[in-house]
Amino acid sequence: MPLDPRCRLILLMLGGASLFGLDSLLAQLLFFWLLIFGSYLLGLGLQRLWHPVRFLRFIIPLTFTLQIVFSAIGNWQSGVAMDWRILIGSALFYTLRITNLVLVMAVAYNWLSLIELVDAIYYLLKPLRRWRMPVDNLFQMIFIALRFFPEVKLSFQQMYACLQSFSPPVQRLRDRLHLISEVMVPVMIVSFRRAEILAEAMTMRGYQADGERTHYGRLQWRRRDGLVLLLGALISVLGVSLA
């Protein structure tokens, strides 16, 4: 079921906020399985869900180990007898909380694209224009950057691959950094040239900083968005209150 990006953003914010209000291991475990179940409803498999945050996997065992070590040191310094069941239960609680936070980030990455995220934030901040806040000017620069930097990245990849094909194989890190520094100069020249062309195109089209922004596609808040958001808010409030 497609939802408005603003609804998805608020639901993710509610999930992340309620995560820190769950103060029991059972509540964190239920939140974990709720995330997994919701991911399958969204058509996200475990492999696709975990792929964008796989580089954070070392945080999970590190959190468990550090929690046990520092809790044991604290008990030893205070002269309190160690109860390993409480110690391991506390370590599992904090580790599961970190795991749930990483999974929320993974759901956000797969469920909400960068353009949708910025567009949703822009629409949520539009009422600030009544207090003369430069919302349009700020987000106009952000939207231009989102379209401009992928082109810079593509130019860098093409030039880097071309230079690698004409140079001997690079193995050492120092040689790779030297190769990257040689690519950066032509990439910056091409980027400045594209930025100049973009500025001239905006001038020719009569762009004004205080003008009304046009939209390729407007966000539409539907009844189902309100119902899903209300259901998510109720679940968050009940979960935090019962935990």
Identity of the amino acid at 241: S
Show the tokens assigned to 36: 């997994």
Task: Summarize the confidence of residues 125-138 as an average pLDDT.
Answer: 77
Q: Do 177 and 102 share a structural domain?
A: no
Neighbours of 212 (CB within 10 A): 7
Residues 25 and 67: beta-carbon distance below 8 Å = no
10-43 per-position pLDDT tens digit:
888 888 888 888 888 888 898 898 888 888 887 8
The tally of domains found in the chain comes to 2
pTM attached to this predicted model:
0.72
- Calculate mean pLDDT across residues 183-195: 80
Rounded CA-CA distance 8/107 in Å is 10
- Asked if residue 144 belongs to a domain, the reply is yes
Task: Say yes or no: 52 and 128 in one domain.
Answer: no
| The two three-digit tokens of residue 8, written as one number | 């998805």
Residues 30, 50 within the same domain: yes
Give the list of residues 6+ apart from residue 94 with CB closer than 8 angstroms, or none. Answer: 63, 64, 67
Are residues 106 and 129 both part of a single domain? Answer: no
Cα 222 to Cα 3, 5, 93, distances in angstroms: 8, 11, 38
Q: 212 in a domain, yes or no?
A: no
Query: What would the two tokens of residue 151 be?
Result: 């082109």
Q: Is residue 118 part of a domain?
A: no
What is the domain range of residue 89? Answer: 5-112+221-242
Tokens of 181: 């520094």
Q: Does residue 66 sit in the same domain as residue 153?
A: no
According to the model, what pLDDT value does residue 174 have? Answer: 72
| Integer Cα distance of 78 and 179 in angstroms | 55
Q: Dihedral sign, CA of 229, 240, 58, 36?
A: negative
Task: Name the pLDDT band for 200 (thresholds 50, 70, 90).
Answer: confident
Burial of 86 (0-12, 13-18, 19+ CB in 10 A): exposed
Dump the DSSP string for 153-207. HHHHHHHHHHHHHTS----SHHHHHHHHHHHHHHHHHHHHHHHHHHHHHHHHTT-
Whether the Cβ atoms of residue 11 and residue 228 lie closer than 8 Å to each other:
yes
Query: Are 128 and 51 in a shared domain?
Result: no
Instruction: Match 């934030």 to its residue by tokens.
Output: 121
Query: CA–CA separation, 29 vs 95, rounded Å?
Result: 11
1 — pLDDT class (breaks 50, 70, 90):
low
Q: Are residues 77 and 25 in the same domain?
A: yes
The answer to whether residues 92 and 11 belong to one domain is yes
| Cβ atoms of 213 and 122 closer than 8 Å | no
Query: Residues 63, 106: one domain?
Result: yes
Domain co-membership, 75 together with 102: yes
Is position 95 within any domain? yes
Residue 216, pLDDT score: 62
Q: Is residue 213 part of a domain?
A: no
Return the higher-pLDDT residue of 60 and 151: 60
Rounded alpha-carbon distances, angstroms, from residue 25 to 62, 63, 76: 18, 15, 24
Residue 153: its pLDDT value, please? 79
In a domain, 88, yes or no: yes
Q: Report, as an integer, the average pLDDT of 115-122.
A: 82
Evaluate whether residue 14 is within a structural domain: yes
Residue 233 token pair: 């808010």
